[in-house]
Chains A and B, each alone.
Chain A
């Protein structure tokens, strides 16, 4: 296997290099200039002298010049001449496309390389990807070098600092686990500042000492040179750390400390680098004491300033995304642009760009994620990961390529060896010392093992290389030697340490990170514990960490969130969000299992403590990512756990799936560049669907004692419905959701019988709910909420009158808290015939007048299956309670939503867009126009597990505004 992949790898590599050779030969002079590392004037901006500019742009411009005859190479010119006068049928336009072409080719090579690495599972688990990429770079570089006698490609600092690094840092910052980061901020800052300074000074002075001892170097090298080198070689590199640690999966505390350090030490590196460069420039003799203080001041400004710039941009970004509801499609763009601008702006003022970008990402994440739509979230995440991944790939390949060019560096064994030793030793010593100090203050001390890992994980990488390449050879005489040493150090850390870190982790038994997602229990208890600890701090009279965190959260809630979050989102509860996420995850995993959990004795979800046989569930985003659009959900495509499915079930699913897709596709024929429209009709339908779901939920709720059982039963019903379709009068194509499945639900045969013939009583319940609901004013909401439980338990409410419902427009009833919504993707998981649902719901409205549901047989534990059939009341509720209960339950739910009236523009806007933003599965609101078109024959919607996903969305149903074609 390994041999095969290597073979493939070499083939591709040689192919690629052949291409490169051709292109390299045809490079116009401009490319070489910009591609090669230029000598820079250190005074200019920190990393990137102006001349660097945008190599790509410069190239493109030059390429566009019509003349472009300078490309003397045979092929292209011959083509030109060949055409001669007259019209050329085919032209060779290499010069025109070459820049983007080369870039695209690079990306392609890098991506293909990645694919190849992952062919062999065993291989990739042993060898980190970064190693392979560097090796690939070495090979490519060697081939190009041999072929063209010179090396046109190198890791260009301009390219690196302006494009490659920001994509990685942006990704890291935006997805930084904020809580973890701030919990460990003290340690991170310590290592980043003190540790880096320690490393820099010690390495610098000791190297100088070795030089004085005569072991290395030439006479011309001064102390400043070594200090400068020490500064740039001592900083742990975020790119390398990410690349290696992501594969190692050490526990998260360890990871966040090392990774956070690598990000935050940027300020130190920047300042040291600049200070030393200026010192080198003026000469050591002309450095006065004041300059040292200036250096310290500079450090403060660079770090704090960078952080501030980042936070300012974070606020701007969050604020902007508050108003993007009409232009969903560009939401991701805002995220990318503003985060990138944070980086560039910091760079502009020569502040710490990495700090700026990191804090921008951390700061804005919470608000942006809440503001933008689910699809935008997925887009942002996926795009960021893609960009970061490709940037990382390119960086490592270019590192390999750059190392080949012998003309750029000079070897000094003494320097290389002593640098390696000093780096390792001082890292270890530094870590041990700082940890000893930190452990005085840490509640969970860092163990010896952690320290070993932290020392060993101090990888150097591309940042150091780019910095050393930027040195001015005129002033730093030892530049070539430094370049060589840096390359060796980078290779050593990334390759040797990267290779050995996995075995080391295993050998030391470093606690690994658990991949499992938090359960709802953990979320709840965690919140509770936070409160408890805060309270205990208050009681004990301490202003500890929890005290301040609590203060911050108050501030955030009272001011920041108010300013930065949409009104519709502001009221959402974190816990509720978490709950939803977990539910969606479970829902997906249920489908993953084969889609039908009815056969198992009871539904067990992966997040349950008792789960045993379920595979690790990917989260929604991953899942959707894998499945592309999310609209097309072919159950057979999904990996199913063997044994979890039965053929019959599968068939059922496919019947469902096949039937359900069609209406959607019909709606998808719209095209708009600016919006991804959701057809008006579809939207309506969806709302109806949501409402139906809600009804159903309500009816179940009243009897419910175990949620998951309901899910299961519903699912079963869905399956059975499909089979029974023939019996119904509906066209085959539509899936009808009938309540009964005699086979599956033995307990509820009665209900089944009732269903087709007479208007569904259960549905009536739901409708009833509407009628009652309407009269409620927003003010009543809290009351109704609190009362809801009671009502449910002791149903006393009178049946709603149909007139009530007619008088009050349903959508006016709920303004207010935001309805829990389900993401669009989640909605899509359920194949539904919306049209049908719509019709049914309309008919259901008619049934308002119908008598309340007859009491159901009550078995407290009636097999969960029976629940499918209809609302089975638990004994406590009494027989009359069933219908009423459901009604009242739904009442409370819907009472929460207030629908905006015309007066409140903003509110209305936000609310009305809510449905688009997070497709609510159910809404408590009725569909706006309740014309009675169909005879009252209602079916239930198959809610499947959706029910749990459901939230009560403020349905935009009745709202005229919301009818607009919605974006996303």
Chain B
């Protein structure tokens, strides 16, 4: 316990961090270790190259976008605080968490999870997934397997399907409407990612 608290003490604002993210001290420590491992040069922050060094990530078709999600616009680095907050999106939704009316929506709420995913599509941050943005994602995920022609038809179709206000783009609301199935079925919420971490501790 002593080591735990001493490690925690090294992290600035750890209390605030835990409160914001809902991570337990053990999580934080674990993430901190990971952070330090990624931060090879020991600068106290990560830059895109550090993420690029994760070799599995290099094989991920949309890995770049995910890396990009860690960096707020214009910033070249991400500190531990932000790092943890981003990862907190992937904590399971805790059902039993007492609802405090005044508290802000937790980071791992459903809509925040979705928002995170939405931002991966919406690269120009205009609040809409345009056809081009969708095409880019599709191209990344499908690679050379399909022709441009097919990509376009998929993209068209996708937008059509979700586009309720006929503006040829998918807004977050629309995105949210077409996604709940996924939420409930298997993908997002059920991610064992942070789950495993919790069990570890």
Does any Cβ of B come within 8 Å of A957's Cβ? no
Interface string of A884-898 (1 = CB under 8 A from B): 000001101101100
In chain B between 1 and 58, which residues have their CB closer than 8 angstroms to a CB of chain A?
31, 34, 37-38, 51, 54, 56-57
Chain A 586-621 interface 0/1 with B at a Cβ cutoff of 8 Å (1 = within) = 000000000000000000010111100000000000
Q: Given A524-B138, A528-B137, A609-B178, are A571 and B145 also a contact pair (CB < 8 Å)?
A: yes
Q: When the two chains form their complex, are residues B161 and A531 in contact, meaning their CB atoms are under 8 A apart?
A: no
CA distance A785 to B144 in the complex (A): 9
Cβ of B61 under 8 Å from chain A: yes
| Proximity string of chain A (785-817) to chain B, C-beta cutoff 8 Å, 1 when within and 0 when not | 110110000000000000000000000000001
Q: For A609, give its contact among B57, B147, B161 (CB under 8 Å).
A: B161
Task: Check A531–B157 contact: CB distance below 8 A.
Answer: no
Is B160 among interface residues, defined by CB-CB distance under 8 A? yes
Which B residues, 128 to 159, have Cβ-Cβ distances below 8 Å to chain A? Answer: 135, 137-138, 141-150, 152-154, 156-158
Cβ of A576 within 8 Å of any chain B Cβ, yes or no, is: yes
A519, B180: Cα distance in complex, Å: 12
In the bound complex, CA of A575 to CA of B134 (Å): 14
Collect the chain B residues with CB atoms within 8 Å of residue A525's CB: 117, 178-179, 182, 187
On whether the beta carbons of B149 and A521 are closer than 8 Å, the reply is no
Q: Known: A542-B196, A576-B154. Is A817-B62 also a contact (CB below 8 A)? A: no
Which residues of B148-201 have CB atoms within 8 Å of chain A's CB atoms?
148-150, 152-154, 156-158, 160-162, 164, 168, 174, 177-179, 181-182, 186-197, 199
Choose from A443, A537, A579 the contact partner of B190 (Cβ within 8 Å): A443
B160 and A608 contacting across the interface, CB-CB below 8 Å: yes
Q: Are B60's CB and A538's CB within 8 A?
A: yes
Q: From residue B89, how far is it (CB to closest CB) to chain A in Å?
A: 8
Contacts of B150 in A (CB 8 A): 576, 579, 820, 893, 951-952
Chain A residue contacts of B143, Cβ below 8 A: 573
A707 touches B179 (CB 8 A): no
CA of A180 to CA of B186 in the docked complex: distance in angstroms? 8
A533/B174 contact (C-beta < 8 A), A538-B56, A538-B57, A576-B145 known:
no
CB under 8 Å from chain B, chain A span 485-531? 514, 516, 518-522, 524-531
A701 CB-CB contact with B under 8 Å: yes
Chain B positions within 8 Å of A583 at CB level: 157
A541 to chain B, nearest CB (A): 4
CA separation between A820 and B196, bound complex, in Å? Answer: 40
Q: Does A221 contact B (CB under 8 A)?
A: no
A825 to chain B, nearest CB (A): 20
Interface check A410, CB cutoff 8 A: no
Assess A533 versus B193: contact at CB under 8 Å? Given A524-B138, A524-B158, A525-B179. Answer: yes
Give B188 Cβ to nearest chain A Cβ, in Å: 5
Question: B148 contacts A786, CB within 8 Å?
Answer: yes
Chain A contacts of B177 at CB under 8 A?
609
List, in ascending order, chain B residues with CB within 8 A of A554's CB. Answer: 59
Option from A521, A536, A544, A605 in Cβ contact (under 8 Å) with B158: A521
Q: Bound state CA distance, A961 and B57, in angstroms?
A: 44
Question: Are A893 and B149 in contact, with the CB atoms below 8 A?
Answer: yes
Q: How far is the CA of A571 from the CA of B144 in the complex (A)?
A: 9
Among B120, B137, B178, point to the contact of A522 (Cβ < 8 A): B178
B147 touches A952 (CB 8 A): yes
Given A706-B168, A817-B145, decide whether A535 and B62 contact each other with a Cβ distance below 8 A: yes
When distances are taken between beta carbons in the complex, the residues of chain A under 8 Å from B106 are none
Asked if A522 and B179 make an inter-chain contact with CB atoms under 8 angstroms apart, the answer reads yes
Chain A 10-26, CB-CB to B under 8 Å as 1, else 0, gives 00000000000000000
B146 x A536 contact (CB < 8 A):
no
B90 on the A face (CB < 8 A) = yes
- The B-contacting residues of A in range 848-900, CB under 8 angstroms, are 889-890, 892-893, 895-896
CB distance from A563 to the nearest CB of B (A): 18
A444 to B63, CA, bound (A): 26
Give chain B nearest CB distance to A20 CB in angstroms: 48
When distances are taken between beta carbons in the complex, the residues of chain B under 8 Å from A743 are: none
Query: B192: which A residues are within 8 A, CB to CB?
Result: 443, 544-546
Task: Report chain A residues within 8 Å CB of B62.
Answer: 528, 531-532, 535
Given contacts A532-B117, A536-B66, contact A440 B142 (CB under 8 A): no
Pick the residue among A541, A544, A573, A782 that contacts B146 (CB under 8 A). Answer: A573
- Chain B CB within 8 A of A81 CB: no
A-chain residues with CB within 8 Å of residue B37 when the two chains form the complex: 541
CA distance A522 to B111 in the complex (A): 16
- Residue A772 CB within 8 A of the other chain: no
A440 touches B148 (CB 8 A): no
Question: How far, in Å, is B77 (CB) from chain A's closest CB?
Answer: 15
Among candidates B90, B137, B142, B148, residue contacting A536 with C-beta atoms closer than 8 Å? B90
- Distance of A610 Cα from B37 Cα, bound (Å): 47
Q: Does B127 contact A (CB under 8 A)?
A: no
The contact of B162 among A575, A609, A951, by CB within 8 Å, is: A609
Which of chain A's residues 539-572 have a Cβ closer than 8 Å to chain B?
Answer: 539-542, 544-547, 550, 554, 571-572
* Contact among A444, A547, A788, A952 with B56 in the assembled complex (CB-CB below 8 Å): A547
The residues of B that contact A704 with a CB separation of less than 8 Å are: 156
Given A704-B156, A948-B153, are A519 and B147 also a contact pair (CB < 8 Å)?
no
Q: A707-B156, A789-B135 are in contact. Are A892 and B148 (CB under 8 A)?
A: yes
Partner of B153, one of A537, A707, A786: A707
In the complex the two chains form, what is the Cα distance from A819 to B120 in whole Å?
29
- Contacts known (A533-B187, A534-B60, A547-B56); A540 close to B34, Cβ less than 8 A: yes
Bits for A155-196, please: 1 = Cβ < 8 Å to B, else 0: 000000000000000000000000110010000000000000
Task: A441 to B135: give the CA distance in the assembly, Å.
Answer: 37
- If A520-B154, A525-B117 touch, whether A895 touches B147 (CB-CB below 8 Å) is yes
Residues from chain A with a CB closer than 8 A to the CB of B63 are 531, 535
Q: Is A662 an interface residue (CB 8 A)?
A: no
Interface assignment of A119: CB less than 8 Å from any CB of chain B:
no
Among B62, B150, B168, residue most surrounded by chain A Cβ atoms (within 10 Å): B150
CB distance from B199 to the nearest CB of A (A): 7
Chain A residues near B182 (CB-CB < 8 A) = 522, 525-526, 529
| 16 additional A-B residue pairs with CB within 8 Å, beyond A575-B141, A817-B144 | A521-B162, A524-B137, A526-B182, A530-B187, A531-B141, A533-B193, A536-B90, A540-B194, A545-B192, A573-B142, A576-B145, A707-B160, A785-B147, A786-B148, A817-B147, A948-B153
7 closest Cβ pairs, A-B complex: A893-B149, A573-B145, A896-B147, A529-B187, A707-B156, A521-B178, A788-B148
**Chain B residues close to A by CB (< 8 Å):** 31, 34, 37-38, 51, 54, 56-57, 59-63, 66, 87, 90, 92, 116-117, 120-121, 135, 137-138, 141-150, 152-154, 156-158, 160-162, 164, 168, 174, 177-179, 181-182, 186-197, 199
Offer 14 A-B interface pairs, CB within 8 angstroms, sorted by A. Answer: A526-B186, A533-B188, A536-B87, A536-B90, A538-B57, A539-B87, A544-B193, A544-B195, A546-B192, A576-B145, A607-B161, A782-B144, A785-B144, A820-B147
